[in-house]
Structure 1
Amino acid sequence: MKLVHLTRLFLPLSAAVVCTGCLDSGGSGSDDTRIGRINYQGLSGLTYTTNSQSGETNEAGEFRYYLGETLSLKVGQLPIIDNVPAQDFVSFLDFQPELREALKTASVNDRGLKDHRPVELNLLLNNTELQNRTRFLLALDWSGNVSEGEGIDIRPRVIEQLNAAINDPDIPDTLDFTVSAQDFSAADSPANRILQSICFYPEDDRLCGAPPSQQEIEAAPSRPENDEDLDPNTVYKEDLQSLADRIREAVRTLEDVDSEQAENYLERELASISNHYGRRYFLKESRARHPASDTGIKTIEVRKIGGEAALAEIEAVSARPNDIAVHSWSWQTAEVEYYVAGDTGGESDIRINFRPEDTYRWITKDIRVIID
């Protein structure tokens, strides 16, 4: 009987040990650690290290960290980034300090409101280091084609082969992502030599073997013209040539991931992160009606789902200020004030633009105000 009770006591402890390092699906861990993510759709298979945590990013690209820590990432033994601020979402733009600094200064859109998206677009189109790193990581994806709604999937088999490649004294064990795009993607560049050493098929797949030599191909008999004369036990010249071509075509290089693919991937991921932040906030009302005689100051409040709307900046503009005029705004109270300025039948949309204190991203919400 005592053994039964002891078993019951030890089961929760063993389960806790097994789950050490597991990630929850929320924004924080079971203790006071937080859970961050690489990009929005994730990047699995990376080895991560923070000041206090270490592990491997899961299928969602998640990692654990404490607030204020920095993040370093590797693919196997190959360094990707060092000492990047850990946060809810870490995009590839966050990997570089000069890009993080540039993102702090928003652009201004055609309505005179601040907007981070043109800044992101300019950076992803014109930064060579960002392009090089993105192309290389996309090339390590198992399928070789990261579609919309999918993350980058770097599998253990890929990591094992990558580690073997960089342990070769003839191949560098680090990559310089700051070189020109031409040098980075040259046929014999370190990045391409690493990729060429990796087979993105199961280990026993024939495409992972050495191609038949030209001597073997020439020594093989040609296929007979009549199918009736084919010998199922004979490997013909044409079969060997076809196999050699397929093996060579299966070798992956940076030519398989061009700049346009990298740009499209980055745009999708950045847009998804911005949309995620936007879904966290809402206006207390999305529509309001006031009589023309009611010219007192009205208030619109920005709210956050499940928490306080802690804002760093806020601004607002009315589409028809002669009907509905914006009076003032306050980031401290997360409010915008407006008043009726027009006659009955008038209306206007007020666009409220704000930046939460934990991101450089600007979020817009609209309210329709009608004058009765």
Structure 2
Amino acid sequence: MTSFGKSPSGFRRHGTSLEPGHMNLGSEHTPIDSFFVCSAGDAPSIDPGAWRLTIDGDATEGTILQLADLESLPQHRVSSWLECAGNGRTLYELVGGHPRSPRASDTPWLLGAMGMADWAGPRLGDVLALAGYQDAAFVGPEGSDLDNPEGHPVRMSIPMDKALDPDTIVAFEMNGEPLTAAHGAPARMLVPGWVGAYSVKWLHRIEVSTRWIPSWRADEYYVRRNPEGDKLGPATAHPVKSSLALPWPATLRPGPQEIRGYARAAGVAIEQVEYRVDDGAWRSARLVGPNDRWTWSPFEFDWTATPGNHLIRTRATDARGQTQPRTIPYNPRTILWNAIIPHPVEISG
């Protein structure tokens, strides 16, 4: 029996991962019991009293820390959305017309592999300072989950400038509560704005190195590729994107409707969101709720729905002036979908 670390009720099950069965993911934060789970294996249950964090590598003297050591450091709070690189994976097929991925490891996410939370814990830079480091170029956080396709513990390679960003933390809390097993207890990484794989759960080791830290995830899976499969570099920051808080496909009653959704872009606020119904003109949506460098930006607009089948599109523009593209090239790993989505909506009754 799969151990998700939380009740799977109300979720769509994708192997050892869970996607919310609805898209009402909250505004300022997503309730923990509605937050997606992306795991390569069963969620381990780790005794906080026995937990240890090993810091080692060729750029540090190394140390072994207990939870109390990290709790003694200044605690930092970060409001950040977290999103799997594969969120929207099925849209490569449903919208882009590409074949469904044959790899069992490619979780068939729709649009629910994301959530907003308030995270708390010490800055990663402060944790690394306890071990000391010199000439470090990369850090490699490693999780305790061993049952995964890589054949070794989950690990990613993070450049030192991102590791030392003041909002990159080792998190103990989520929405004001201790982390649960499903979300990485007792401690996990939070690497805001970057694809969720970097926010390694069940953290137990950090390698500090003068060079790139190899792993199957970093070198093969979470990689930007052209349609021919050639590597274009690691998949790191999320591009600007938006999606509706509606089922796929959605069924609504005719008449006045308030349609909601979520826009987001890594490291920058959202400047505007526009929407379009069928072949109509693009119109401005209202930005509501948080809108900061690491948060998503909820939006809403009013629509008088008429009977029939409709397509609603949205496009977000961030404060750098980057706008969602109409289409994107195919990525054989089916990650980082951010093209404009023609969301099907049936009005009946």
TM exceeds 0.5?
no
Normalising by structure 2, we get a TM-score of 0.28
The higher radius of gyration belongs to: 1
Normalising by structure 1, we get a TM-score of 0.26
Larger relative strand fraction? 2
Which has the bigger relative contact order, CA under 8 A and spacing at least 6? 2
